[in-house]
Amino acid sequence: MNIPQSSTDIISAISSAQGTAAIAIVRLSGKGAAKKLDNIFHGKKKIIDAKHKEIIFGKIMDDEQVLDEVVLNVYHAPKSYTGEDLIEIFCHGSLFIQQRILQLLFKEGVRLAEAGEFTMRAFLNGKMDLSQAEAVADIIHADTKKSHHLAMQQMRGGYSDIIKKLREELIQFHSMLELELDFAEEDVEFADRNNLRVLLEKIKKIIADLIASFALGNVLKNGVAVVIAGKPNVGKSSLLNTLLKEDKAIVSSIPGTTRDVIEDSIVLDGIRFRFSDTAGIRKSSDEIERMGIHRSKETMSKAQIIILMFDVFDSQEIKTILEETKKSYTDAYIIPVLNKIDLFYAEPDISELPSLVLLSVKNKIGIAEIMEQIVQYVKEKDIQSDCIVSNERHLQS
């Protein structure tokens, strides 16, 4: 977003979703906004005479013709979203009407708002701090229950409140130390050193907790990365298609069909999961397949969850491969899965691998257990706190 030439300009923009609808909203903000709008509005009273939060019905006039009948919400500074005089025009949602209202306002000297400028003015006028302003964008783009809840925490000032409290305590202690300097010759101690150590330990713990919360906050905001990995032809693509309930990946009995990472996402229990179907991992002389395998391993290194698939024909290797995978991807939660159990006449012995999920993608056996495990993993990680860091800038600061 570019900073406008003047923050004292009266700005306007369409605030509702783009396109045709029953109702649209045109927003106007800035000192003198009511006077400008009065020049194209005809109602029972002037907008400049309206009380704070008063609703007015009237007509928008285009020269001497009625363009539309509208309802206005009038907010007086500083008790508005932007901290300025702000008016919301509720008009019919015709694209022509929306654009024509803007054109009429531009003729009156109103300027088109830049992207995010209403929120920027709210920040500049002290209606919200920077982290809350950033949370507005997160709320708008939140597409799951968890990401919305996280954005609302930030919007309500969860992160800001913690930082403010720490700052206040440090300033208080700093003032005590300065007071000691003023009475240095009298050898008086105003700042208890034990209290200082306790405060510093408290700050270190809070900062460590905030940093630790970013891993969870980031995945709740952007989605949990889940990689389906394993040897060729164990059913990875079939599992992806079953989880997504669509034919996203090509399924073939020919090993090595998937040569690139295929991605899509679903929402489970209010949490977005980003699934990746990877190329089968094996030794190969095919250059293109080797590139696909390299990408598979890169994708696995970034995953929070790895669904490690085997089939009944390589069940003897499960323990060895599982241990190697855990050593290679220490940060990931690994779910070992044995597919094609429908080919067994009897249920296999998994006493040495109690965490192994028995799966038949063909017969939809074990699918619910996999979904339950990935959801439970995130819920167990959930931090019961008023503040979870989800913004990269907050982490770096």
The chain-wide mean pLDDT, for the chain, equals: 81
Residue 144 has pLDDT above 80, yes or no: no
Helix H or strand E encompassing 300 = helix 287-301
Residue 219 — pLDDT band, cuts 50, 70, 90?
Answer: low
What is the mean predicted confidence (pLDDT) over 349-360?
A: 77
Q: Using alpha carbons, select from 35, 54, 56 the residue that is nearest to residue 105.
A: 35
**What's the CA gap between 343 and 370, in Å, rounded?**
20
219 neighbors 225 (Cβ within 8 angstroms): yes
Residue 349 has pLDDT above 80, yes or no: no
Q: In the beta sheet, which residues pair with residue 335?
A: 307
**What's the CA gap between 224 and 230, in Å, rounded?**
19
| String of DSSP letters for 223-261 | -EEEEEEESTTSSHHHHHHHHHTS--S---SSTT---S-
Beta strands 41-43 and 65-75: pairing type?
unpaired
Residue 216 has pLDDT above 70, yes or no: no
What is the mean predicted confidence (pLDDT) over 164-169?
A: 80
The residue to which tokens 């003032």 are assigned: 175
User: What pLDDT is attached to residue 13?
Assistant: 96
Say which amino acid occupies 286: D
User: What pLDDT is attached to residue 356?
Assistant: 86
Identify the CATH homologous superfamily for domain 11-127. Answer: Probable tRNA modification gtpase trme; domain 1 (3.30.1360.120)
Which carries the bigger pLDDT value, residue 300 or residue 29? 29
SS3 helix, strand, coil % of the chain, rounded to 5?
45, 20, 35
What is the mean predicted confidence (pLDDT) over 162-185?
A: 76
**What's the CA gap between 238 and 232, in Å, rounded?**
12
Q: What is the CATH number of domain 223-365?
A: 3.40.50.300
**What's the CA gap between 262 and 61, in Å, rounded?**
54
Residue 254 has pLDDT above 60, yes or no: no
Burial 313-342 (b: 16+ CB within 10 A, else e): eebeebeebbeebeeebeebbbbbbbbbbe
**What's the CA gap between 236 and 242, in Å, rounded?**
10
Is this prediction's pTM over 0.75?
A: no
The residue to which tokens 């101690």 are assigned: 189
| String of DSSP letters for 161-197 | HHHHHHHHHHHHHHHHHHHHHHTGGGT---S-HHHHH
User: What pLDDT is attached to residue 173?
Assistant: 76
For the chain, how far is it from start to end, CA to CA, in angstroms?
21
**What's the CA gap between 98 and 107, in Å, rounded?**
15
229 neighbors 329 (Cβ within 8 angstroms): no
By mean pLDDT, which of 2-6, 14-18, 363-367 is the weakest?
Answer: 2-6
User: What pLDDT is attached to residue 249?
Assistant: 54
Residue 67 tokens read as: 């363009």
**What's the CA gap between 337 and 244, in Å, rounded?**
18
Omega cis (within 30) before 78: yes
Model confidence over 122-138: pLDDT tens digits?
988 988 877 777 777 77
Residue 7 has pLDDT above 50, yes or no: yes
By mean pLDDT, which of 214-223, 305-314, 388-397 is the weakest?
Answer: 388-397
User: What pLDDT is attached to residue 205?
Assistant: 79
By mean pLDDT, which of 76-90, 103-117, 324-338 is the weakest?
Answer: 324-338
Residue 69 has pLDDT above 60, yes or no: yes
8 neighbors 33 (Cβ within 8 angstroms): no
User: What pLDDT is attached to residue 4?
Assistant: 47
- Domain extent listing, the chain: 11-127, 223-365
By mean pLDDT, which of 80-84, 190-194, 281-285, 347-351 is the weakest?
Answer: 347-351
